[in-house]
């Protein structure tokens, strides 16, 4: 079919999704579109509904593993939604604004409370959908509302209380998130910068941020030691499958040593999960999202 003129200049067929993920792994998207506004997102979704296409969205792909064969349907490359607008202690951001851009812009305005985003190499839209965070807190606690588009094409605003924020998740999976509004506390820019720098340095010292990965592979199981500790105790640090390796620095990371495939990563994940289950009786739950068209059990 012929795409509407508003989408044609930002569309690409057989787009290599390895370019759209921090893992640097994955085959092509049948069709990719990089919308620049919420209206362009809505238009792309309308076309997809008309054609019966599957729709997927990606920001920086920082928790994403794409199948070696790629995926059918339409992939929306959300990095084009870059608006940042302040109103007092609130800031409205497009879903494609990176976490680092949000941190820098809000710090310059004397606003804080986003230590939870330090060291997350993703976009705000993705961070909100997965409720990114950890010891410093979770981003969902700073959300006022989320704007998104339902599969039907209806534009909706959801207050934070209706977003269903939880550990490593939310109730936003039915939406294409286009904007997020945050309410932030005041912070001294210099003190806040020092706190963020300290958190960033700690992550650099304990996580393999110099190698391609998708961040933490496994969710921390409730009532048990952290997933990374379970993986390490099962003797999996340094375990390899092809070009994929369980990091020797942090066992909850699988890194791409340069030529890893999706098949390598899936094989390694299955071996790790089996070893952890045999040793501790805990069946780890994957945190990384796996895009594929065929049913693959992992």
Is 168 tagged catalytic?
Answer: yes
Sign of the alpha-carbon dihedral angle for 225, 226, 229, 235: positive
Query: CA 169 to CA 131: how far, in whole Å?
Result: 5
Q: How far from chain centre, in Å, is Cα 161?
A: 21
Helices 99-108/189-206 angle, 10° precision: 160
146 close to 180: Cβ distance less than 8 angstroms: yes
Q: How far from chain centre, in Å, is Cα 27?
A: 18
Catalytic: which of 168, 229, 240, 279? 168
Is 83 tagged catalytic?
Answer: no
E-state strands within 18-167 = 28-33, 55-58, 64-66, 71-77, 84-87, 90-94, 133-134, 137-138, 143-149, 155-159
Query: CA 36 to CA 39: how far, in whole Å?
Result: 8
Is 287 tagged catalytic?
Answer: yes
Beta strands at 133-134 and 137-138: parallel, antiparallel or unpaired: antiparallel
Q: For the chain, how big is the Rg over CA atoms in Å?
A: 19
Beta bridge partners of 166: 169
Query: CA 70 to CA 28: how far, in whole Å?
Result: 4
Catalytic: which of 216, 232, 262, 273? 216
129 close to 173: Cβ distance less than 8 angstroms: yes
What six digits make up the tokens of 145? 């509302």
Residue numbers annotated as active site: 168, 216, 287
């Amino acid at each position: 079919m012929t795409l509407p003129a508003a989408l044609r200049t930002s569309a690409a067929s057989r787009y290599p999704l390895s370019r759209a993920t921090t893992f640097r792994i994955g085959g092509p998207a049948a069709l990719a579109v990089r919308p620049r506004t919420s209206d362009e997102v809505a238009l792309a979704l309308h076309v997809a509904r008309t054609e019966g296409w599957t729709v997927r969205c990606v920001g920086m792909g920082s928790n994403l593993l794409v199948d070696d064969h790629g995926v059918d349907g339409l992939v929306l490359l959300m990095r084009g939604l870059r608006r940042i607008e302040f109103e007092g202690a609130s800031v409205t951001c497009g879903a494609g604004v990176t976490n680092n851009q949000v941190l820098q812009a809000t710090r310059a305005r004397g606003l804080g409370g986003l230590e939870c985003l330090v060291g997350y190499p993703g976009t705000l839209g993705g961070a909100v959908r997965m409720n990114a965070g950890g010891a410093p807190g979770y981003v969902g606690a700073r959300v006022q509302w989320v704007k998104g588009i339902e599969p039907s094409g209806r534009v909706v605003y959801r207050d934070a209380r209706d977003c269903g924020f939880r550990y490593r998740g939310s109730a936003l999976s039915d939406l294409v998130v286009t904007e997020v509004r945050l309410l932030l506390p005041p912070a001294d820019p210099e003190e806040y910068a020092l706190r963020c720098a300290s958190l960033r340095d700690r992550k650099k010292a304990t996580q393999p941020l110099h190698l391609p990965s998708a961040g933490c592979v496994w969710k921390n199981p409730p009532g048990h030691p952290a997933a990374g500790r379970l993986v390490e105790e099962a003797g999996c640090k340094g375990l390899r499958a092809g070009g994929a390796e369980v990091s020797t620095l942090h066992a909850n990371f699988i890194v791409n040593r340069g030529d890893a495939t999706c098949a390598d990563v899936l094989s390694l994940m299955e071996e790790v999960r089996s070893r952890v289950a045999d040793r501790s009786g805990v069946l780890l739950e994957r945190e990384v999202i796996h895009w594929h068209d065929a049913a693959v059990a992992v």
